[in-house]
Amino acid sequence: MDAFKETLLEELGTRTVFTIPLLGGIPVAESVVVSWIIMAALMIATLLLTRRLSVRSPGKVQVALESAVEFLNGFVKTNIGRHWRPFAPYLGTVALYIALSNLIGIFGLTPPTKDINVTAALALMSMVLIYGAQFRYNGLLGGLKKFAEPMPLLLPINLMEVVIRPLALCMRLFGNILGAFIIMEMLKFVAPVVLPAIFSIYFDLFDGVIQTVVFVFLTTLFTGEGIKEEE
Partner 1 sequence: MSIGIIAAAIAVFTGIGAGIGIGFATGKASEAIARQPEASGKINSALLLGCALAEGTAIFGFITALLIIFVG
Partner 2 sequence: MLEFHLSNILFTIINLLVLHAFLRKFLFGRVNAVLEARAALVKEQISSAEESNRQAGELRTQYETKLTDAHQEAAKLMADAQNRAQRAYEGKLAQAEADARQLRSQAETQIAAERMAMLRDARNEVASLALLAAAKVAEKAMADAGDQAMVDEFLTEVGEQT
User: Minimal distance in Å, beta carbon 61 to partner 2?
Assistant: 11
178 binds partner 1 per the rule CB under 8 A: yes
Query: Using the rule CB under 8 A, is 33 a contact of partner 1?
Result: no
CB of 220 to partner 1, least distance (A): 10
Q: Which H or E element spans position 18?
A: strand 16-20
Contacts of residue 222, Cβ cutoff 8 Å, sequence gap at least 6: 126, 130, 165
- Distance between first and last Cα of the chain: 59
**Does residue 77 touch partner 1 according to CB under 8 A?**
no
Task: Count Cβ atoms within 10 A of the Cβ of residue 43 and give its class: 0-12 exposed, 13-18 middle, 19 or more buried.
Answer: exposed
Identify whether the C-beta of residue 122 lies closer than 8 Å to the C-beta of residue 98: yes
Q: Compute the distance between CA of residue 129 and CA of residue 211 in angstroms, rounded to an integer.
A: 19
Q: Nearer to partner 2 by C-beta: 86 or 152?
A: 86
Q: Within the chain, where are the H helices?
A: 2-12, 30-49, 60-80, 87-103, 116-146, 155-190, 195-200, 207-227
Among the listed ranges 42-50, 130-138, 195-203, 211-219, the one in contact with partner 2 (CB under 8 A) is: 42-50
Phi and psi dihedrals of 85, rounded to 5? -55, -50
Identity of residue 112 = P
The verdict on 26 binding partner 2 (CB under 8 A) reads yes
8-state DSSP, 24: T
Tell me, residue by residue from 133 to 172, as one string, x for binding to partner 1 by CB under 8 A and - for no binding. Answer: -----------------------------------x--xx
Question: Binding residue for partner 2 (CB under 8 A) from 61, 65, 213, 214?
Answer: 65
DSSP state of 57: S
Instruction: Please identify, among the stretches 122-130, 147-155, 160-168, 183-191, the one whose residues bind partner 2 according to the rule CB under 8 A.
Output: 122-130
* Position 46 contacts partner 2 (CB under 8 A): yes
* Residue 28, strand partner residues: 18
Residue 118 touching partner 2 (CB under 8 A): yes
As a residue count, the chain comes to 231
Please identify which residue in 1, 3, 55, 141 interacts with partner 2, judged by CB under 8 A.
55
**Binding positions for partner 1, rule: CB under 8 A:** 9, 12, 168, 171-172, 174-176, 178-179, 213-214, 217-218, 221
**Footprint of partner 2 on this chain (CB under 8 A)?**
9, 12-14, 26-29, 31-32, 35-36, 39, 42-43, 46-47, 49-50, 53-56, 58, 62, 65-66, 69-70, 73, 88-90, 92-94, 96-97, 112, 115-118, 120-122, 124-125
